[in-house]
Structure formats: structure tokens, C-alpha cells
Structure 1
Amino acid sequence: MSASTSLTRRQMLRRLGLGAGAGLLLPGCNGGRGFAPQRSISPFQPRGLHVSLPGDAHSSRAVTWFTDGVEAPQSVVEYDVVTPGMSAQEIQTAPLRHQVEAESEPTTGIDAYTHRARFEIDPELPLRYRVGSAAGFSPVKVVQTTPSDTWRFVHFGDQGVNHRAEQLTQALSQEDYDLLLIAGDLSYANGDQPIWDDWFELMSPIMSERVTMTAPGNHEQKDFGGDAFKNRFTHPGTLTSDLFGAEPPNSFYSFDYNRVHFLVTTAGALIGDGTLPVELANIELDLANAALRRAAGQIDFIVVMQHFTIWTDQEGRSPANPTLVALEENIFLRYGVDVALVGHDHVYQRSVPMMLGLPNLLGYVQMMVGTGGASIRLFDDNGPQSWSAKEFVGIGYASYEVDGDTIRGVFKGAPPLDMSEEGRQFAEEGFRVIDEFEIKARGRILAQRFVHKPRPAEVLLADFDAIERHTLERNAHALKHCG
């Protein structure tokens, strides 16, 4: 170990308020709570604000927030537009002409209430809003419009609440993007519900002003079987719920953002809630419909976000997740999914277009970005598989620019101080470009190849008993080994 590296570590320990005898948080199953923000909020004061899409990306918004206590204040969202030339003071003080009453329900696991409001907005002007009740309101927040031309989104997973997660959040706050996607294992509460409050305190400055969509991970399963996740976020419905009038699950869903179709799945992370058969049918139906729309020229890309990887080179998990190879990959390949956004493994790895673990131009690109800060892990000693285009050890996030029929991507990361177990507790200051890539749309002629009728449930679920058993075994193994 060089003297400069040792000095860097001592400086970082001092900055984090840890003396030499404080003890390092070596890799564990939670994301680390040692760097949680300090909250001091009066009863009924809104906290944890976050914005999502309940429907059309241009004309609808949902806001979700929390208040403490065993009673729910009569909560509302008040909103209006930001007009050209409006000053910062006017944004905060000008009257808000529209109001929607929130739905309220007890927050899972703590004495608090979750409030959510869905409403239509002016697609041409930025949104300004505040939430609260007669007992107190939040400051006014501003959400920009959904762009109609070039736009950007960011993706990562596996964050937690610790100094690495704060580094990532600070970097994200300086990025220019329109949509934030988080691929599961968000808070690492692992049953300790107040950690969710710490995570929202960390992320709310971003999520209250940037549309954020999330997928559940295996660590969300440890919070009342996923109920804590479902309770704390507001998502759109599914094709199956729309067609059959079922209650939207709030854990798997889909939406369009301009000419990109996003399908968000649980990948079996919340199998205990009994919805996996319905979700498999929804994946089939949703992707069949998306493939038809792409061939008709209505969309350019089909993107799936979920927590679990399908193929991986992380140490201890290479070469693949057999459950998902059987459960999902054939559906992805049947309907020509373009990109799979995943987390779970705490490394960065981008694939070339691949199919069944081999490079194939007709396959999908897997973006494994489990680098949100929960921990920093290593790749196995066997070297990357043939599908791998880029690997990185550290923390970071992927940023994507969608420009017509092209997605241009960049991964920005910060490596650990060194590759030792101790050195991987800290990342270097500053994020730099680690990887750059480009994904082209398939085009309408090739897109025709992936148009198929959705298969009936009896075909999809013919081997469901085995799928369920293997998924349960995988989830138990992942949690036992700090998944």
C-alpha cells in the first residue's frame, strides 16, 4: 500500500468522523446505516417527497410523501405552472391555482402515513407544486416538462444509506437528466423500517424534482414481503390490470417515455406475494404489444428494468442466473427487447447484444449497474465471458441520451481506494467517464421479425411449479449471501 493511498484513507476517515478505532463497515447484507442524514421534522410536516408517472409522461404526474404520527392530516397537493420570466421568489410565493386531495394510508412498519396524489399537468410549462395540510406545507418544488425531442435518463441500483451512497447522490444532483430509474435494493432497510425514512431523506432533494421510477429488489422482500416498497411508491398500472379490471400491483408496471417503452418487472424478487403467475402473463402480453407497436413505427426501443441480472461475471455469481434464463430470457428474445437495465451485482458490466450467453446481434444489451453504493464487489477470476464489453469495480451510474433512433450511453464511476476488503469501503472522490457506448434502434423491417401473438397462460405456466421452486431457492440464496 502506498503512502498516498494510506493518507487518502486517513483523510476520508476523518471527513466521515471515524477515528482509527471506530471500526470499518466491512461488506454486509445491508447498505450501511452509519451515514444516515439527521432528521428533525415536526408532526404532520411533509417529508420524503418524490414524483413519478401515473400515466402519460407529458401530461400526468403523481406525488407521494409521508407524515409522522398515528393520525393522517387531510393532505393535498397544490400546483400550477412556472411561467416564462418567473423569479425564484415568485415561484415560491405566487398563488397555486389547482388543488388535488391526496389518498392516505398507514405507512408500512412505522407510525406514519403515506400520501399520494395523481393529477394532470400542462405539458408545455414546468410544474411547480407543494404538498401538505393545514398543519404545514413543503417548500414549492419545480419539475421540468417532458422533452419532445432529445432527452436523458439515469439508471443504477443497490444504494443503501452510507457514505458511498451519499457520494453517488451528490454526483447525481449535478447531472442533467429527465428521468431517474432505480433497479431495486433501494434502502437496504432489511426490516428496519426507519431506514426507509433515512433513504428518502437522502434522495428526496432529487426525487422531488425529477421523475423517478423504481423496481423492487430482493432486499425489498425483507420489508413485509415487499409491502413497504409497494406502500411507499406510486406507479402506473399494467396491461393485465387494465384489461381485466384488477388492482394494479404497484411492483411491476410499464410506461412510455416518448418513443421508448419501459417494462418494469420484479423478476421474482417478491414471489411471496403470489403475483408471479399474473406478472409472467403481463410480461408476455406487454412485450408482445410493444413489439407490434415498434414494428408499426410507434416506438423505437423496448427497455426492461428489473433488479436481478440474467448473465453476470461477479465473483460468486458467474456465469448466469439460471432461474431468469428460464423465466424471462426466452420472452425477451421472442419479442426483441433492446436493453435490460439491472442491478443486484455490485459491479458495472455492459454486454454486447447477446442471446443465451453468447454475442448475437439479434439479442439484447444488458446494462448491469449495481453500483449505487451499497458495497463494492469484485469480478471472478475466470475473466469476462464472451458477451462482456466493459467491466468496472467501484460506484457509479449510467446516463443515457435518447436521440431519435439512437441511445448514447455513458457510465461515470469512482473506483475504490484499492481492491482490498478495507479499501473497497471507500471510493475515490470525483466521478469520471469509464465507458461510452451507442445502441441503435432495430428499424421497422427487422422489428417485424419479433412480432408474435402472445402465448396463452397454459403455455407460459406449464412449468410454473419448477419455476416457483427455483425462484424461491435463488432468492433465499441471494439473501443468505448478502444479495
Structure 2
Amino acid sequence: GGRRNRGSRPRRMSGLVLLKAKVGDVDGGPELLLASRRHAVLGVARVLFAAANERCLRGMDRAALGRGSFFVGAVANSWRVLMQGLASLMFLCARADEYVRQPPSPLVLTAHDKPAAHPQQVHISTVGRNKMRISWVTDDRNTPSVVEYGESRGNYTASATGDQATYKYFFYESGAIHHVTIGPLAPGTTYHYRCGKAGDELTLRTPPASLPLELVVIGDLGQTRWTASTLAHIGGADYDMLLLPGDLSYADTQQPLWDSFGRLVQPLASARPWMVTEGNHEAEALPVVGFAPFVAYNARWRMPHEESGSASNLYYSFDAAGGAAHVVMLGSYAEFEEGSAQRAWLERDLAGVDRRRTPWLLVLLHAPWYNTNQAHQGEGEAMRAAMEALLYEARVDVVFSGHVHAYERFTRIYDNEADGRGPMYITIGDGGNREGLALKYAIIGRSH
């Protein structure tokens, strides 16, 4: 338990593709060093935000705002693919489109075999500067929504209560879905906790109070053997928080798959904050029979939307690393046009970011705004037209998306032209889902 020494933390970058953007000005865009696999499966991105460099708080062509480096890593889903070496490249678009793997095989998912009051599907998320939300499910609807916690094993010095709810979908009725907010918590600290006074003791670590901040970014996760491989890679890394830009369980109206997904990710999601936004596979709308969209998603994965002034769980924002990073999670499937609630909220949220104390500004959304893959061409265009200018004016650093089951990275860009003041766009859409990789590109050799 207790606080960790950030300076002594080992780096576990083995098996990662590293895109290293050096600090400083480079004509035409950032200088990129690519340590690549020849056939990379890019289902996971791992990001290290180094400490802010006071000498380059903002600039026309700043490659990064950090002392040291900005890393984006993508883990191959096959252990047999070996690192090919290091290449120093100056280029505008990177992608992996040659990898061939076997079709995703389903996992053998076991039912919950514990007592009805035993917590399952435990996951955590950040709430404000120094609090965490603990979410879990019990089959017993009389289990109390309470979390006991402390810095020593078995010694719970604090407790908190919350709320619970259920939902129905055709003949399916969920268990009790509990949400409890705990805190205040110390940053960079390990806590031991127990849910519902009946569960096993679990352990979480709070994010640090300052940079560096290390993130995992995955999209379109699903629950196949490739998903399990992705999760195994993540489990071997030392990181602070996971960001997921949509398409979690691939339940697609089969509600028991939400339960199996929650059990699948619990070992990781109960230990580090998982911050998610919705994808198309979360919608599950059947208006003919009265089922509104995102019912299961909103019930199970409650994010800090109210705390960030949002009226919807489909879009929100939060600070990390003591405010040195601000992360905006947008909703590709909530209204985003001029005059919409989401666009008005985004404008207010970005206006409240002080870039003098927040050098990193990140955005996540599901459907990519820039995409040369044949899959899902143009699906993010309307949202880009409605919102891109706001991101540009706020000088957003990086935009992550999923949806397309491939990896693609654009240099800093605005309105379809390379622009050193625009964000870098990264598609990271294959965490292992059942639909497989998107390997065909519609545009070859385009200078983005």
C-alpha cells in the first residue's frame, strides 16, 4: 500500500510500436521515430505524457509539450511477431495494413458461479480531482451499495454508500448495478477495497498528481481470444489509466454478453480507472418495441458527465495528473450539430481549459474524422464539420478514435490540410473484436 516512487518505475515498452515525437519545431510537422513491427496489429495504444517543458508552452509547430518524449505504442496481438528494428522517418501518415491473422475465435465464457450477493463486473472510474467511482453488479438486489476501503490490506478506515438500479431488455433483467463514489483519495496511492461487504478484497491505484502520466488507449475491444491477448498485454504494463473510445462488449442486444464482458475485464478495470465513451455497438436501440438507445451502456458504465457539466453520459470530460492533462470524451452518436447540447457543452468545456497549467489536451471519439481506410468512409464527416473548428481553436494535441479496425495516424491537420496548429489524429480501432481487421485502404499515397 501507500504512495509509490514515480521516479523508480520500470518502463515496459517491449512489443510496442513507438511513435516518438521530439520536442521542438520541425518544418512541415513533428519528427517521428518509428520502431515498428513489419506486420503490426495495432489494437492498443500506450501513451506517456512527459513532464511539461516550460520553454515550449505553445507554438506553431510544437511536436509535443513535454520534457523528453511523447510515446504512442501499439501492441501486436501475436507474440510471434518480432521487433524489426528502428527507423527514423519524416512522414505525414503511418498505418499498418499487411498483417494477416486467423479469424477471431470466441472465448469460452463461464457463468458467475459465486453466491448471489458476491460482487462481479467491478470497474472503477475517476470522479473529480480526488475521488473514484466503484461500479459492480450483484445478482442479489438486496446487497448494500457500500464500499469499504483503506491503504492497508484488510484494514478499512473509510466507507461510502451509493445507489443501485436495474434495467430490462426483452426477457432479460439485469442484476443490481451499484455505483459508489469513494474519496477523497491521495494521488499515486494504492488502496484496498471491498464491495457490498461480501466480496473479495480488491486493489486499485489512483492516478498521479502530476506528470508523467501513462495511459493505455484501446478501441473496439469485444470478447474474443484476441481480446484476451490484448488484455494480457495491458496487464503486463505499468500504467495509470485506460481510455476506450467506444465499442466495449459487442453485446449487440444480447444482454448476457454485457455480463460476460464485465467479468472478462474486471481484473484490469477494478485496478485502474477505465474511462470510456460510446460506440455504435453500444446503441442497441429498438424503437419499434420501445427500447431507447444506450440503456445498458448508461446503466453499467456511468462516467463523470454531471461533474463536467454535461447533461448526458455519452459525452463528458475530466482532468488528470493534477490538471496537467484535460481529456474530452465526445459522443459520436449524440447530437453534435450547431445548436446541439453537446456542441454547446464542448464549447464551454474547452473555453474553461487554461493551457498555461494544462499543457495536454486530448479528445476521444468513436467514428474517426480522418480515415483513408475503406471501412466506414465518411461516417465522421458531419461531426468533423460541426466541431473541428472548436478543437483547432483550443489547440487540442491528439484526437483518438476507434470504429475502423486498423491503425492509422495523421500528423497535425486541420480542414483536410497539414497544419502545425491542429491536432494529431490516431485511429486505434482493433482491440480484438469478432469482426476482425480492416486491411483495405481507399486512398493510397495521400500526403496526410
Letter in 2 for 1:62: R
Letter in 2 for 1:237: H
Alpha-carbon distance between aligned partners in 1 of 2:362 and 2:330, rounded to the nearest angstrom: 11
Task: Report the alpha carbon displacement of residue 112 of structure 1 after superposing the two structures with TM.
Answer: 0.6
Structure 2 residue matching 1:126: 3-state secondary structure: strand
Structure 2 residue matching 1:128: 3-state secondary structure: strand
Letter in 2 for 1:370: G
1:371 and 2:430 matched:
yes
Does the CA-based 8 Å contact 1:348-1:369 persist in structure 2?
yes
Does the CA-based 8 Å contact 1:225-1:270 persist in structure 2?
no
The 1:196/1:275 distance shift into structure 2, 3 A limit, reads farther
Alpha-carbon distance between aligned partners in 2 of 1:104 and 1:317, rounded to the nearest angstrom: 37
Does the CA-based 8 Å contact 1:81-1:122 persist in structure 2?
no
Alpha-carbon distance between aligned partners in 2 of 1:162 and 1:255, rounded to the nearest angstrom: 30
Match of 1:417 in 2: none
Task: Report the alpha carbon displacement of residue 119 of structure 1 after superposing the two structures with TM.
Answer: 2.0
Letter in 2 for 1:378: L
Bigger CA drift: 343-352 or 373-382?
Answer: 373-382
Match of 2:195 in 1: 131
Match of 2:29 in 1: none
* Superposed CA offset, 1:97-142 (max 9, x none): 2111221111454331110111213315422111014xx2232323
Structure 1 residue matching 2:352: 3-state secondary structure: helix
TM-score (norm 1): 0.65
Bigger CA drift: 280-289 or 188-197?
Answer: 280-289
Match of 1:341 in 2: 400
- Aligned counterpart for 1:68 among listed residues 139, 149, 163: 139
Match of 1:167 in 2: 229
The 1:115/1:238 distance shift into structure 2, 3 A limit, reads closer
Instruction: Give 5+ residue unaligned stretches, structure 2.
Output: 1-79, 81-100, 286-291
Alpha-carbon distance between aligned partners in 1 of 2:301 and 2:327, rounded to the nearest angstrom: 17
Does the CA-based 8 Å contact 2:121-2:263 persist in structure 1?
yes
Match of 2:446 in 1: 385
Match of 1:358 in 2: 417
* Superposed CA offset, 1:426-462 (max 9, x none): xxxxxxxxxxxxxxxxxxxxxxxxxxxxxxxxxxxxx
Structure 2 residue matching 1:344: 3-state secondary structure: coil
Task: Report the alpha carbon displacement of residue 271 of structure 1 after superposing the two structures with TM.
Answer: 4.7
Match of 2:161 in 1: 101
Alpha-carbon distance between aligned partners in 1 of 2:432 and 2:261, rounded to the nearest angstrom: 12
Residues 3-402 of structure 1 mapped to structure 2, 5 A cutoff: 33-56=106-129, 59-69=130-140, 71-82=141-152, 91=153, 94-107=154-167, 109=169, 110-123=173-186, 125-133=189-197, 136-222=198-284, 224-237=292-305, 241=309, 248-258=311-321, 259-267=324-332, 269-271=333-335, 277-290=340-353, 293-294=354-355, 297-318=356-377, 321-374=380-433, 375-387=436-448
Task: Report the alpha carbon displacement of residue 145 of structure 1 after superposing the two structures with TM.
Answer: 4.8
Structure 2 residue matching 1:362: 3-state secondary structure: coil
Alpha-carbon distance between aligned partners in 1 of 2:338 and 2:134, rounded to the nearest angstrom: 26
The 1:152/1:192 distance shift into structure 2, 3 A limit, reads same
Structure 1 residue matching 2:340: 3-state secondary structure: helix
Alpha-carbon distance between aligned partners in 2 of 1:113 and 1:376, rounded to the nearest angstrom: 36
* Count of aligned pairs between the two proteins: 335
Letter in 2 for 1:382: I
TM-score (norm 2): 0.69
Alpha-carbon distance between aligned partners in 1 of 2:444 and 2:115, rounded to the nearest angstrom: 53
Larger RCO (CA under 8 A, 6+ residues apart) = 2
Alpha-carbon distance between aligned partners in 2 of 1:372 and 1:66, rounded to the nearest angstrom: 24
Structure 2 residue matching 1:63: 3-state secondary structure: strand
Structure 1 residue matching 2:223: 3-state secondary structure: coil
Letter in 2 for 1:106: T
Structure 1 residue matching 2:369: 3-state secondary structure: coil
The 1:282/1:48 distance shift into structure 2, 3 A limit, reads same
* Superposed CA offset, 1:51-104 (max 9, x none): 111111xx21110000114x332231001114xxxxxxxx2xx32121112211
The 1:120/1:278 distance shift into structure 2, 3 A limit, reads same
The 1:144/1:280 distance shift into structure 2, 3 A limit, reads closer
Letter in 2 for 1:128: H
The 1:98/1:169 distance shift into structure 2, 3 A limit, reads same
Alpha-carbon distance between aligned partners in 2 of 1:65 and 1:275, rounded to the nearest angstrom: 37
* Superposed CA offset, 1:165-202 (max 9, x none): 11101111001100100110000111111101111111
**Higher Cα Rg: structure 1 or 2?**
1
The 1:239/1:137 distance shift into structure 2, 3 A limit, reads closer
Structure 2 residue matching 1:222: 3-state secondary structure: coil
| Structure with higher helix content | 1
* Superposed CA offset, 1:247-300 (max 9, x none): x42221111112011111112x1459x99921111011111222xx11xx1210
Instruction: Give 5+ residue unaligned stretches, structure 1.
Output: 1-11, 13-23, 83-90, 243-247, 388-483
Letter in 1 for 2:191: L
Letter in 2 for 1:219: H
Alpha-carbon distance between aligned partners in 1 of 2:316 and 2:139, rounded to the nearest angstrom: 29
The 1:128/1:108 distance shift into structure 2, 3 A limit, reads farther
Structure 1 residue matching 2:444: 3-state secondary structure: coil
Structure 1 residue matching 2:192: 3-state secondary structure: strand
Match of 1:87 in 2: none
Alpha-carbon distance between aligned partners in 2 of 1:326 and 1:275, rounded to the nearest angstrom: 10
